[in-house]
Amino acid sequence: MSTQTLKAPRGTFDILPDSATRREEVERVAREVLEAAGYGRIETPAFEATELFSRTVGEATDIVQKEMYTFPDAGGRSLTLRPEGTAPVCRAYVEHGMHKLPAPVKLYYVSSFFRYERAQAGRYRQFWQVGAEALGSHDPAIDAESIVLAHTLLDRLGARGLRLRLASLGSPAARSEYRVELQTYLRGKSDDLSDEVRRRIELNPLRAFDSDDPGTQRVMAGAPRLLDRLTPEDADHFYEVQALLMQAGVAFEIDPTLVRGLDYYTRTLFEFTSDALGAQSGVGGGGRYDGLVAALGGPPTPGIGWAAGVERILLAADAPPSPPPALDLFVAHDAARSQAFGTLLEARRAGLRAQMETTGRSLKGQLKHAERLGARYVAIVAADGIQLKDHRAATQEPVAFGQLIERLAATP
């Protein structure tokens, strides 16, 4: 065996206790905000049949073309580590007949996702998302509610410099007519486009709006816009969503160039960015996907949802790591292991946060360690009894075995 030390794979990271506390905070606030709105927790498998993503996310998207971890298992099936959460949630919705539940069915998750991407700050190959999906309602109020919930979550977690961009993709029919119009326009300007955009005119012309190539950007400034091609019903729906967001006091900008890397979106589309982040400024995003459940073999069911990246939220919040909770009792001892262990068990049974010495420090070293742990009390255990030090009161007194908890309960 090679003695070279192994490292976590490129683009992945270990979550150590310091950062685990901040992540738990994200999860706790997500639970509070979303459960109060009727969302129930769902956890789907970390891998799915490859087809689930290729069929729904879209063959021409970056995710499917470049970013999926796809592998055959020993049984010869093609599996893919989930790159996103909406398709798996809709797969589960169909599989468990959730259309029979009273609508809307609201589900949320806090899970890890996998994309083969160029690893950099805020962009990883395994990352976490909080996501929320509401299935079974066309009402613009559920679009607005979904967006407000994402905003509330980001706001409560302290994400700085938030901006919300909003658009509508309309319905599939209007979108495919528009697609043809855009392709004709792009073909007419193909000399001014980047190679990548030119190559993708047939496959995914909308992505041209996302390009950072200056030539392409000049072309796109004059391109026809989907927002001007919405049907009256889609336009009404979009205006209604905007009115409700204004009512909720959530500021937004309409961005006719907003496109997102997934094919299944219809109508409402949105993205939250943070000015506190560098190049990787997207904190979360989502939209309506009225055709997705039917595409997966379920009954026609509208849906809307979003996902926000946990690492990007934490970067945008720039919160200091929270210190571990202070200890109630440190059990110090000098070779009275069994008595010390008994004292530890007694303290734990009484619901105290307690630790005992296990590394053979000198008594002085143990007291120092207890201080480092922020212990309010130290029980110095010997074979014949306990000396109890109260750090807050700066006192020390003898306590008989079996009396410790009573004594602690009696101190203010």
Q: Which residues bind ligand ATP (CB under 6 A)?
A: 84, 115, 117, 123-124, 127, 129, 260-261, 280, 282-285, 307-309, 311-312
Q: Which two three-digit tokens encode residue 234? A: 């889609």
Specify the residue, 126 or 355, whose C-beta has the smaller distance to ligand ATP: 126
Nearest to 276 by CA among 119, 154, 127, 120: 154
Specify the residue, 124 or 289, whose C-beta has the smaller distance to ligand ATP: 124
Q: Nearest residue to ligand ATP, using CB?
A: 309
List all residues 6 or more positions away from 224 whose beta carbon is below 8 Å from its beta carbon: 178, 181, 182, 185
**Least distance (Å) between residue 309 CB and ligand ATP:** 2
List all residues 6 or more positions away from 63 whose beta carbon is below 8 Å from its beta carbon: 53, 57, 83, 84, 115, 261, 262
Q: How far apart are CA 170 and CA 285, in angstroms?
A: 17
Name the helix (H) or strand (E) containing 309.
Answer: strand 303-309
Specify the residue, 10 or 77, whose C-beta has the smaller distance to ligand ATP: 10
**Least distance (Å) between residue 107 CB and ligand ATP:** 16
Q: Tally Cβ neighbours within 10 Å of residue 177.
A: 13
**Which strands form 162-168's sheet, in the order they lie side by side?**
40-41, 105-114, 126-135, 303-309, 282-288, 266-274, 162-168, 253-254
**Least distance (Å) between residue 127 CB and ligand ATP:** 3
Q: What angle do CA 310, 22, 33 make, to 5 degrees?
A: 65
**Least distance (Å) between residue 15 CB and ligand ATP:** 14
Specify the residue, 39 or 270, whose C-beta has the smaller distance to ligand ATP: 270
Q: What angle do CA 127, 129, 132 make, to 5 degrees?
A: 160
Specify the residue, 82 or 106, whose C-beta has the smaller distance to ligand ATP: 82
Specify the residue, 161 or 365, whose C-beta has the smaller distance to ligand ATP: 161
**Least distance (Å) between residue 158 CB and ligand ATP:** 15
**Least distance (Å) between residue 12 CB and ligand ATP:** 10
